[in-house]
Structure 1
Amino acid sequence: MLTSLQTKLVRSLKSKKLNVFGLFFLLAFLILVVTKLSETYVETIPFTIAYKNLPDRNVITLDSIPKVNVTVSTHGFNLLSYYFQDQIYQLDVENNASMYKSSYVWLAEKGSYVLKEQLGNSVKIVSVKPDTLILPFGTLSVKRVPIVLKSKINFASGYDTLEAIEMKPDSIDVIGAEEEIYTIDFVETKSLILENIKLDINTNLGLEFPGVYKRLKLSQETIQIKATVEKFTEGTFDIPVTILNLPNDVEINYFPKHIKVSYYLSLNDYRAVEPSDFIIQCNYNEVLRSGNEYFKPYLIVNSVKVKSARMKQNKVEYIIK
């Protein structure tokens, strides 16, 4: 029992010694850090350029965002904040830049006082590199271009849409420097993928603008996609064949006299379509030009209710009597 108590006492003393040592070590470390941060350092801080008071009709046409490296002299405490966030310099184009031809020119000696205000009185600016920024600009123009829908839509069996997919709007304004928007002929939507569709389509879809045109803007970011989806069915008619441009002194016999036509339409419009809505024609002059021994029939559909139609036969044989 006595041995056990003695062992616990020794362990307790050792533990307290370690705690005291750790405390003194931490205090020494903090004193060292404070001492170091109190010293004066010379460091270079990168600043990303942002523009303000840029005329509404102008746009900077640089391929990348410019930066300036500002070398400063200050206490370590002041430098801490610059290591935890990106620094931005608001370049006042109207007041701190001059215009030369089609570029703005910024001189560090003219704009450094704004940097000085941003950094504070406790920071001394040693140098700014580069000391000159050349900022070419273009005049904003507007070009209206069509929108191209990128879609893959699969309807459920027996369902379809009579009208084409409707886009609102179907064209859009591209805004940017004239020399850049000149190359834009259309703008694509983001991909629209729909499967097993039975109900009407009504959704908003974003527009996809290649990253190479990051300086250009669109008049809006999304468009509306609409389509009425209906139950569809197929019907068939036997349509008579008509021969065009047959001379009065020529008599022919041709076969078949009728061709079966299958057509695809909304179930709601099935009874509204009649054989008279379809015409099949063969042109005698075409046979004379081509020298073929058969006619090539052409199908004419005179009903907007029919989505598609096709003939079951694509040749009409004939003989001259």
Structure 2
Amino acid sequence: MATRNRRRRFKKSSIKTFGFFLIFSAIVWVLVQFSKTYTQVIEVPVNYLNVPLDKSISEERPDHVDLQLQDNGFSIYYYKIFNPKLDIDLSEATESDKNLIYSIENHITVIEQQLKVTLEDSRIIQDEIVIPFQFKKEKMLKIISNVEVSYAVGYSADEPLQLVPDSVKVSGPEEVIAKLSSIPTLKKKLENVNSDLDGSVQLDTTGYGELSFYENSIRYTQEVEKFTEGKAEIPVEVINVPDNLNLAYFPKSVVVYYQVNLEEFEKVGASDFSIVCDYKSVKEGDDYMIAQIKTKPKFVNNIRLNERRIQFVIKR
């Protein structure tokens, strides 16, 4: 019985020893093989940066360069697994017959730094990268503000929000640009404003990836001032009444409420306003007219009337 147990222990020990040396030999073989120098061509994807704003590069542009790599197996395995990309700065390319030419030889140092190789034993097979392009069309688009301003109580502005600049130059495919006349800003809310505005807002270029914008953000400005509310009673004038019609209407006057810059409050008087009703605008069956503000000072805003419906009767 003891002899049989010794045989089993011997067999288990022998198998473990054999397995260890087998694995060890395999590791040594792999290390030896990977330490050898190999030559292999690897496709390195390219990414184009700084495309000139007046040009659109063709979809048929090269999407990779061929790197003939002469290095040990570890480096080659690294390239196959991690597949590094090469950034091509087109602002450093030359232009020739509707092609942008990027010289490999002139940018060896940049390429070596990006790919982490030395291009002495290894090399990029292409001497240059040729990128076809088309000239873009250019156009000025009006900028539409999406900046919403809510003023603090007692504050307002005489002039609307100013955009600087109020238009932007864009370039892109002619069929896209031809359909555009304006571009909006992103939405922005400014609340409880009680001082002058001076800020920036981005253009909303969502869905316009084919276009190049010479400006991506703009400034907005506005002078905000202290305002007060005033009111004045203004007589109502009825126009376009037929000569043979005896018209009676009421009320004969309405109260106009308005906001005005505190410094200009004393400049506003009832005579600066006029309220009219146009009899021609009355619909058949109606017994009222709509009062309209005909004239007002330019520097007042937020005008409202206490009564817009002017009742009337026709006397026989």
TM over 0.5: yes
1:308 paired to 2:307: no
1:137–1:319: structure 2 CA closer, same or farther, 3 Å change rule?
Answer: same
Q: Distance in 2 between matches of 1:157 and 1:90?
A: 53
SS of aligned partner of 2:203: strand
**How many angstroms does 1:312 deviate by?**
1.3
| Deviations 1:92-116 (CA, angstroms, capped at 9, x unpaired) | 6756xx76xxxx699xxxx999999
1:66–1:311: structure 2 CA closer, same or farther, 3 Å change rule?
Answer: farther
SS of aligned partner of 1:238: strand
Further displaced range: 277-286 or 32-41: 32-41
Map of 2:85 onto structure 1: 86
CA RMSD between the two structures? 4.0
CA contact (8 A) 1:296 1:314 kept: yes
Normalising by structure 2, we get a TM-score of 0.70
1:272 paired to 2:272: no
**How many angstroms does 1:146 deviate by?**
0.7
Alignment of 1:118-129 (within 5 A): 120-123=119-122
**How many angstroms does 1:183 deviate by?**
3.4
Map of 2:196 onto structure 1: 200
Number of residue pairs aligned between Structure 1 and Structure 2 = 274
Alignment of 1:71-220 (within 5 A): 72-76=68-72, 79=76, 85-88=84-87, 94=95, 120-123=119-122, 137-210=133-206, 212-220=207-215
| Deviations 1:200-245 (CA, angstroms, capped at 9, x unpaired) | 01123333322x4345322333322111111122222111111112
Q: Distance in 2 between matches of 1:148 and 1:56?
A: 23
User: Among residues 66, 69, 72, which one is paired with 1:70 in the alignment?
Assistant: 66
1:105–1:197: structure 2 CA closer, same or farther, 3 Å change rule?
Answer: closer
- Provide structure 1 residue ranges, at least 5 long, that are not aligned to the other structure: 1-28
AA aligned opposite 2:169: D
User: Among residues 215, 224, 228, which one is paired with 1:233 in the alignment?
Assistant: 228
User: Among residues 241, 244, 253, which one is paired with 2:248 in the alignment?
Assistant: 253
SS of aligned partner of 1:213: coil
User: Among residues 21, 27, 40, which one is paired with 1:42 in the alignment?
Assistant: 40
1:253–1:155: structure 2 CA closer, same or farther, 3 Å change rule?
Answer: same
- Provide structure 2 residue ranges, at least 5 long, that are not aligned to the other structure: 1-26, 112-117
SS of aligned partner of 2:136: strand
Normalising by structure 1, we get a TM-score of 0.69
AA aligned opposite 1:220: E
Map of 2:5 onto structure 1: none
